[in-house]
Amino acid sequence: MNARTRVDSPGLLRDVPGIAVGHHDRSDPGWLTGTTVVLCAEGATAGVDVRGGGPGTRETDLLRPENLIQQVHAVCLSGGSAYGLAAADGVMRWLAHRGIGFPVGPRRREVVPIVPAAVVFDLGRGGVFTNRPTAAFGRAACDDAIAGGGDRRGSVGAGAGSLAGGLKGGVGQASTVLPDGTVVAALAVVNAAGRVIDPVSGLPYEPHGAGFRLRRPPRSEVRLLSEYLADAERPLNTTIGVVATSARLTKAECTKVAAVAHDGLARAVRPAHSMNDGDTIFAVASGQGELVLPSSDPAYRSDASRPAAMNRLLVAAAECFARACTNGVLTATSRQGRLAYADLCPGAFVA
């Protein structure tokens, strides 16, 4: 493995107060899959936007702005295709045991945890088709979130068995802080039919802000990359993820954030939203602060309205998701014969 030098941290989803992340995966013989959980134990307003032609999801209708439930308690992202939705059962049980959920009775544990979920296709990539995430994966990912294990990136959690345009994919994260102090962050599980890396230049389509200083790799490496991509497996796929913010948003505003975050996906992954993808992005708002424009911001001095503040948040959501997609591929590691970008183009990383 090439020694990749991180120039700065692109940020983490947990940079948003009230959000925790955990992973659980297996890569022992016969296995190559996992689950990632985004915990919002105190509750978070949420929205979702599904763009791919072959999605595998759970509880997405509940997030429509006109429906009853206002907050979620976790989002479950998993491998295993539709089978992997079982991991959300484990997340629900983990939360219910702690009395976290939508109250439906007078006692503390008479709750229904709200856990939307989405999955990526990685069936059989470990060698045994029937090895896929179960409820136990969801519980273990929740435990990992409490233990602080969610900072990991690359071929972990739901990204363990991911591929991105034939290269090894993975989990990427990025965050930013707006001038008013609002935190915006993204986590992407990159398992795309499209490519994150341009086979002509040998560089990511969105190379900036993903945590590494890059340069164009030597021609020999670009040629090797191009040849590998031409022959690489590109089966059923999907990119899924979560955009989070510390701002207090409505369900309708969260839905808009999720929708615009797909712009970032489409910049980093080309093409995106195909019939072979199930691209799904959730947005969660922890409500730790109001979305306010400081009067000292010259770019918005003439318009201190909430729509102007939302516009800036939407731009940040798309940028963070694009950076997270690139980060997931740059941090991925080769596994079970499926090569990562860092092994094919080590010369792209500036030491």
Percent of the chain with pLDDT over 90: 83
Q: Does residue 290 carry a pLDDT above 90?
A: no
Q: Does residue 233 carry a pLDDT above 70?
A: no
* pTM, to two decimals: 0.94
pLDDT of residue 3: 52
Percent of the chain with pLDDT over 70: 93
- Span 2-60, pLDDT tens digits: 456 555 689 999 999 999 999 999 999 999 999 999 999 999 999 999 998 889 999 99
pLDDT of residue 60: 96
Q: Does residue 235 carry a pLDDT above 80?
A: no
Q: Where are the domains of the chain?
A: 13-344
78-82, 100-104, 182-186, 292-296: segment of lowest average pLDDT: 292-296
pLDDT of residue 237: 80
Tokens for 109, please give them.
């544990």
pLDDT of residue 1: 41
Strands 33-50 and 71-78: antiparallel
Does the domain formed by 13-344 have CATH 2.60.40.1220? no
pLDDT of residue 303: 56
Q: Does residue 300 carry a pLDDT above 90?
A: no
Q: Does residue 108 carry a pLDDT above 50?
A: yes
- Span 168-213, pLDDT tens digits: 999 999 999 998 899 999 999 999 989 999 999 999 999 999 999 9
Q: Does residue 294 carry a pLDDT above 60?
A: no
pLDDT of residue 141: 98
Confidence band of 304 (pLDDT split at 50, 70, 90)? low
pLDDT of residue 5: 55
Q: What's the 3-state SS for the chain?
A: CCCCCECCCCCCHHHCCCCEEEEEEECCCECCEEEEEEEEEEEEEEEEEECCCCCCEECCHHHCCCCCCCEEEEEEEECCHHHHHHHHHHHHHHHHHCCCCEECCCCCCCEECCCCEEECCCCCCCECCCCCCCHHHHHHHHHHHHCCHHHCCECCHHHCCCEECCEECEEEEEEEECCCCCEEEEEEEEECCCECECCCCCCECCCCCCCECECCCCHHHHHHHHHHHHHCCCCCCEEEEEEEEEECCCHHHHHHHHHHHHHHHHHHCECCCCCCCCCEEEEEEEEEECCCCCCCCHHHCCCCCHHHHHHHHHHHHHHHHHHHHHHHHHCCCCECCECCHHHHCHHHECC
- Span 248-283, pLDDT tens digits: 999 999 999 999 999 999 999 999 998 888 899 999
Mean pLDDT of all residues belonging to the chain: 93
